[in-house]
């Protein structure tokens, strides 16, 4: 796989049973790149390790006054230099390619999992943890994959050099062959402690990232209630804990690095001392002593890769475990028993709460707890809890449908919809039935002022559809973003549309017109709206009160206001004192309903005047 070929056509199905298994699966899928990097690494390390033999041959040739052998040593030395340069260049190229392609594969796997799980991902894994996995953890996993090939090449080179030294000079070669494995394995007792400290540091860093993400997401609210400094102090403390954990981890790795410097130095002293002793006895020549000494000195270079692979594994193992944890999440589905790819039709029913949304009607759902409303909306979208029962559409469990069919059948718009950057035409270019055009959807969502604002804010776009929307629609108000998101959902024209507080940031007059627009445009289609707004509730065909996870009352808005105190408490937001005077709240909302009717009559009157003048 080359970098220019990214992304992968298919990143594969990962082995997410554990972190090490995921790393092993990733390495097997990078086998071609690993072998290429190892081949270049062997050329590089072998060329570097051959330099002492060339130097020793040259020294011995000078001692023996042999010009031919000196010329041969020079030629071999030049050849080793070329091999070192080529090997190092292409090893770096292949290793970085392995790093980038491995990280890209993990990123694609995470993106695919996020698209399959949807918003339930952040309900099962903290948002800060997801951010950490998709950024820092991906880099650490790629680092380990990149380091494996260089470590393998270094290990093979060390074995070959030890064998060569034993054959070249058995007395000194035996000392080196015994000492080098000791050097390589000396740091093993320290690795578990270093790994634990690295895990602790990563845990603290993940907590700090999650805290920062939550703080930034709620910064506007925090400022409103004066809690900004409180959360900033919490983040400062979390940041200091990360710093302290990083210092403790760095101390352990510094100790490992010191050992990796100290022990080769001791081996070098031992080789020199023993070599001088053998030279005095005439058992080895000066050139042989120089060769063995230089070999030991240069072998410290490939030995450093033992420390690197230990560090890479220590940091990547917890990262791989977290990535595997995310990738192992599954949508609660019985895919094996999927009966058909056809999209079912009929009533939408939730056995867990008893909520029934009749087919072709507008059903409003009132929940006292906004979080419970969000969870119920997710259930209606086909994402039940792991141990929960599935929602039924026309008697068919949604989790028995293939994911594509389930998403075609039911569309959920949550209370905080996201607008991607691009033109308005691109924003509204979504999978749709084709029965509802962009103009109809924008009109039903009351987006006239939004279109005018987009044209006014664009320098070179006279057509609103060509006006650009900034990232997440930051240039628009909250109400404008909600209406554009509502128009996008209406264009898709799903069999069932679930809207979670679609008008919470819209003024009352616009909200009433949106309610009529949605009701008229979705006529004959099943629509479920989670809201506590009387303006929306008054236009619903059916209103359902969900209290403590169960349906508590069913009816129409005006009837429930009179006969259901719990419904009235949620809709009117009345206090305990007001609850003792239900007539006042009922009268108020009756007045609101009458105003809505008057507003509709005025619009009909205007239409008649237009028709008569035409």
**For a pLDDT cut of 90, what percent of the chain falls above it?**
20
Which of 156, 163, 251 is CA-nearest to residue 201?
251
DSSP, collapsed to helix, strand or coil, labels residue 394 as coil
List pLDDT tens digits, range 332-376: 554 444 444 567 888 999 998 999 999 999 999 999 888 888 889
Q: Distance (Å, rounded) from C-alpha 201 to C-alpha 280? A: 54
Total length of the chain: 614
Close Cβ partners of 155 (under 8 Å, ≥ 6 residues apart): 302, 305, 306
Segment 58-64 shows an average pLDDT of 81
Give the distance from CA 32 to its chain's centroid: 27
Give the distance from CA 286 to its chain's centroid: 61
**Which of 35-49, 151-165, 454-468, 492-506 shows the lowest mean pLDDT across its residues?**
454-468
Residue 552 has pLDDT above 80, yes or no: yes
Q: Which residue has the tokens 């080098």?
A: 180
Instruction: Tally the C-alpha atoms within 13 A of residue 303's C-alpha that lie toward its C-beta.
Output: 28
CB 158 within 8 A of CB 304: no
Q: 363: which DSSP letter?
A: E
**Which of 159-163, 412-416, 547-551, 602-606 shows the lowest mean pLDDT across its residues?**
602-606
Residue 166 has pLDDT above 60, yes or no: yes
pLDDT given at position 278: 81
pLDDT given at position 580: 52
pLDDT given at position 340: 46
Please report which helix (H) or strand (E) contains residue 317, including its range: helix 286-327
CA dihedral defined by 489, 490, 493, 497, rounded to 10 degrees? 60
Q: Distance (Å, rounded) from C-alpha 44 to C-alpha 49? A: 9
Segment 303-311 shows an average pLDDT of 80
Segment 432-457 shows an average pLDDT of 88
CB 36 within 8 A of CB 94: yes
Exposed/middle/buried for residue 524 (C-beta within 10 Å: 0-12, 13-18, 19+): exposed
Which of 353, 513, 527 is CA-nearest to residue 447?
513
pLDDT given at position 329: 83
CB 511 within 8 A of CB 483: no
Segment 401-427 shows an average pLDDT of 84
pLDDT given at position 335: 43
Query: Who wins on pLDDT, 68 or 208?
Result: 68
pLDDT given at position 386: 57
Alpha helices in 118-218 (DSSP H): 120-124, 127-132, 138-168, 170-185, 191-217
CB 536 within 8 A of CB 509: no
Q: Is the dihedral angle over the CA atoms 233, 234, 238, 239 positive or is it negative? A: negative
Q: Distance (Å, rounded) from C-alpha 338 to C-alpha 324? A: 26
pLDDT given at position 114: 82
CB 334 within 8 A of CB 400: yes
CB 543 within 8 A of CB 534: no
Segment 49-60 shows an average pLDDT of 80
Query: For the chain, first and last CA: distance in Å?
Result: 68
**Which of 59-73, 89-103, 335-349 shows the lowest mean pLDDT across its residues?**
335-349
Query: Who wins on pLDDT, 407 or 12?
Result: 12
Distances (CA, A) of 173 to 109, 263, 548, 550: 49, 17, 78, 80
Beta bridge partners of 362: 527
Angle between helices 67-117 and 31-63 (to 10 degrees): 160
Query: Who wins on pLDDT, 35 or 400?
Result: 35
Q: Is the dihedral angle over the CA atoms 426, 430, 432, 437 positive or is it negative? A: negative
pLDDT given at position 358: 94
pLDDT given at position 541: 94
Q: Distance (Å, rounded) from C-alpha 565 to C-alpha 579? A: 8
Query: Who wins on pLDDT, 542 or 296?
Result: 542
Which of 1, 3, 24 is CA-nearest to residue 14?
24
**Which of 23-32, 305-314, 362-371, 475-484 shows the lowest mean pLDDT across its residues?**
305-314
Segment 473-497 shows an average pLDDT of 89
**Which of 114-128, 262-276, 412-426 shows the lowest mean pLDDT across its residues?**
114-128
- 3-state helix, strand and coil shares in percent for the chain, rounded to the nearest 5: 70, 5, 25
Residue 287 has pLDDT above 80, yes or no: no
Q: Which residue has the tokens 């939004």?
A: 450
Residue 213 has pLDDT above 60, yes or no: yes
Segment 176-202 shows an average pLDDT of 78
Close Cβ partners of 432 (under 8 Å, ≥ 6 residues apart): 491, 492, 493
Q: Distance (Å, rounded) from C-alpha 532 to C-alpha 192? A: 55
List pLDDT tens digits, range 566-609: 998 888 876 444 445 555 555 555 555 554 555 554 554 454 45
How sure is the predictor about 556, in pLDDT bands with cuts at 50, 70 and 90? Answer: very high
**Which of 68-72, 528-532, 552-556 shows the lowest mean pLDDT across its residues?**
68-72
The average confidence (pLDDT) of the chain is 81
Segment 390-397 shows an average pLDDT of 87
In SS3 terms, 489-528 reads as HHHHCCCEEEEECCCCCCCHHHHHHHHHHHHHHCCCCEEE
Q: What is the pTM of this model?
A: 0.60
């Amino acid at each position: 796989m080359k970098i220019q070929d990214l992304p992968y056509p298919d990143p594969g199905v990962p082995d997410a049973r554990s972190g090490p298994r995921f790393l092993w699966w990733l390495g097997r899928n990078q086998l071609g790149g690993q072998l290429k990097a190892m081949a270049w690494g062997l050329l590089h390390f072998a060329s570097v390790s051959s330099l002492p033999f060339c130097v020793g041959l040259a020294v011995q040739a000078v001692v023996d006054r042999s010009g031919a052998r000196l010329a041969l040593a020079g030629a071999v030395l030049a050849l080793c230099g070329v091999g070192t340069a080529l090997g190092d260049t292409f090893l770096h190229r292949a290793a970085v390619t392995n790093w980038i392609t491995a990280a890209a594969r993990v990123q694609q796997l995470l993106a695919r999992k996020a698209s399959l799980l949807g918003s339930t991902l952040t309900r099962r894994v903290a948002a800060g943890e997801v951010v950490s996995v998709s950024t820092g953890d991906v880099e650490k996993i790629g680092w380990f994959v990149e380091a494996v090939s260089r470590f393998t090449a270094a290990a093979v080179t060390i074995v070959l050099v030890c064998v060569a030294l034993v054959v070249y000079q058995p007395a000194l070669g035996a000392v080196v062959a015994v000492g080098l494995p000791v050097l390589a394995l000396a740091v093993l007792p320290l690795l578990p402690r270093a790994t634990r400290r690295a895990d602790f540091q990563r845990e603290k860093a993940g907590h700090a990232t999650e805290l920062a993400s939550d703080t930034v997401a709620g910064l506007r609210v925090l400022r409103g209630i004066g809690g900004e400094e409180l959360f900033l102090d919490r983040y400062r403390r979390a940041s200091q804990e990360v710093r302290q954990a990083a210092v403790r981890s760095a101390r352990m790795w510094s100790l490992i690095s010191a050992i990796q410097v100290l022990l080769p130095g001791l081996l070098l002293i031992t080789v020199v001392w023993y070599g001088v002793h053998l030279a005095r006895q005439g058992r080895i020549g000066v050139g042989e002593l120089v060769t063995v000494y230089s070999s030991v000195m240069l072998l410290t270079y490939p030995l450093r890769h033992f420390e690197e692979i230990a560090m890479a594994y220590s940091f990547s193992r917890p990262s791989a475990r977290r990535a595997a944890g995310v990738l192992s999440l599954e949508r609660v589905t019985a895919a094996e028993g999927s009966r058909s790819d056809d999209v079912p039709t009929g009533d939408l029913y939730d056995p867990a709460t008893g909520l029934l949304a009749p087919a072709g009607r507008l059903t409003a759902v009132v929940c006292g707890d906004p979080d419970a409303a969000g969870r119920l909306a997710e259930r209606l979208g086909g994402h039940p809890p792991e141990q929960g029962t599935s929602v039924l559409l026309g008697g068919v469990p949604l989790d028995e449908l293939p994911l594509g069919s389930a998403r075609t059948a039911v569309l959920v718009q949550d209370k905080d919809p996201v607008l991607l950057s691009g033109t308005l035409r691109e924003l509204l270019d979504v999978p749709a039935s084709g029965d509802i055009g962009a103009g109809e959807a924008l009109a039903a969502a009351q987006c006239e002022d939004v279109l005018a604002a987009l044209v006014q804010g664009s320098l070179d776009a006279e057509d609103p559809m060509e006006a650009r929307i900034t990232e997440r629609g930051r240039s628009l108000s909250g109400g404008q973003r909600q209406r554009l998101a509502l128009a996008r959902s209406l264009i898709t024209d799903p069999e069932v549309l679930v809207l979670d507080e679609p008008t919470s940031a819209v003024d009352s007059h616009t909200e009433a017109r949106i309610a009529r627009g949605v009701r008229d445009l979705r006529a004959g289609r099943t629509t479920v709206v989670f809201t506590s707004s009387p303006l929306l509730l008054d236009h619903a065909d059916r209103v359902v009160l969900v209290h403590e996870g169960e349906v508590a009352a069913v009816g129409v808005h005006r009837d429930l206001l009179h006969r259901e105190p719990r419904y009235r408490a949620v809709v009117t937001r009345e206090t305990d004192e007001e609850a003792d005077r239900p007539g006042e709240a009922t009268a108020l909302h009756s007045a609101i309903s009458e105003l809505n009717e008057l507003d509709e009559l005025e619009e009909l009157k205007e239409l008649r005047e237009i028709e008569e003048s035409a």
